[in-house]
Amino acid sequence: MAAASDKARFYLEQLVPELREYEKKKIFSKSEISSITKKRSDFEHRINSRGPSPSDYARYAEYEMNLDTLRKKRIKRLGIKAPMHAGQRRVFFILDRATRKFHGDVSLWQQYIEYARKQKAHKKLAQIFTNALRLHPREVDLWIYAAQHVLQDHGDITQARGYMQRGLRFCKNSQALWLQYAKLEMIYIARISARQRILGLDKAEEQQQQQPAIDESKDEPDADVMMLPRLTEEDINPTLDGDAPDKASLETLNATPALSGAIPIAVYDAAMNQFENDPSLAYDFYHMLVEFEGCPCLQRVLSHVVDSLITNHPADAKAQECYIKYPVADLSPSSPEFPRAFYTSLSRVKEYVTEENPVLVQLAPRVIGWLQGLMETENLDPALQKVIQATLKSANRRVEGCRT
């Protein structure tokens, strides 16, 4: 116990100059400083005694975060010059001690990561990710979070792919990781597409639909790494020379594997190979993809997923649902292309929503729910409303007939 008290006293004595500065500059009053000292003393004795828990460190770090927030607000209000990162260093010091002592506690690592990201301490965060993933290579959420961070905060798709690829070496049986990898690639494509629209480059001719070359080399010693389309520096960070890019440069840009949807398709195919064409996983892929409305490669990627589903599982209700919905995917009910595409969907409804379909009981509620959702669309064309109502009546009648 004496050793614990000595260790706590050692850490507390190092904070004395900081507290004196607070009092001198009137950031905190004497009574507040006494309260801070007592609180810190309690935490230090608790974490340095026998049997501390991860929650003790977590509460200590949270207290210091709140204290630092209050300190910054008072410095700003008083117009005082003071070190801005003192509180940040203090929190990092506590969380570093916590993760060293309880390196197996993932929640502590997540708190450490969240705080570093909030503080925009990018170098520190990179080191935290390295340490956390080295100790917890099978934590799927850590790989996903790391990849999302480097893409969202730094726009570094290369490093994001690296995290996902390494994560799949350790967690190849995680469906969530495969889904998030494909989603990451779609986010990247959507960002590039949005940039093109902002720059007025979306008026170029439609992107080429040819299948890009796939790296089929079988000499790769690491069999856990799936084969992706070959990428160049231009694919990862496309550049355009001059203020007015010509037609050829735009066609080249849009035909790269990074933008044509080849990589999400490759991820999907690898996932299907890993999970033996699991229809539930393919169904999840479909519904993840339809969220990317307006993405230029969406139709191509969705078509590949739906074709794979209906070919491998023609009698599965989820496959039939995706096959029915696909023609109107990425189309607004108010768009001029919607009626023709919806007619195709209705023809597929008539094909599958029949009493002869062995999975009608599973399929019908999905189709009926989808049609009812369309009925709630604002300013829906009256003709479409009549067609949907008639289709709903027919579907409900067939379901009742099947049940009886």
Here the tokens at position 328 are 């109107």
Per-residue pLDDT of the chain in tens (404 residues, 90 and over written 9): 567 788 888 888 888 988 998 888 888 999 999 999 999 999 999 999 888 899 999 999 999 999 999 999 998 888 887 776 788 999 999 999 999 999 999 999 999 999 999 999 999 999 999 999 999 999 999 999 999 999 998 888 999 999 999 999 999 999 999 999 999 999 999 888 888 777 776 554 444 444 444 344 444 444 444 555 444 444 444 444 444 445 555 555 566 666 788 999 999 999 999 999 999 999 999 999 999 988 888 999 999 999 999 999 999 999 999 999 999 998 988 888 999 999 999 999 999 988 888 998 899 999 999 999 998 888 888 999 999 999 998 888 877 766 65
**DSSP-derived 3-state class of residue 296:** coil
Q: Tell how many helices (H) and how many strands (E) occur in the chain.
A: 20, 0
DSSP string, 262-277: HHHHHHHHHHHHHTTS
* Residue listed under structure tokens 């229809």: 279
pTM: 0.81
SS (H, E, C) 139-193: CHHHHHHHHHHHHHHHCCHHHHHHHHHHHHHHCCCCHHHHHHHHHHHHHHHHHHH
Rounded distance between C-alpha atoms, residue 198 and residue 178, angstroms: 31
Helices 157-170/175-198 angle, 10° precision: 170
Rounded distance between C-alpha atoms, residue 115 and residue 53, angstroms: 20
Rounded distance between C-alpha atoms, residue 155 and residue 370, angstroms: 36
Residue 371: partners with Cβ closer than 8 Å, 6 or more residues away: 388, 391, 392, 395
Residue 385: partners with Cβ closer than 8 Å, 6 or more residues away: 375
- Which one, of 87, 285, 65, lies nearest residue 185 by Cα? 285
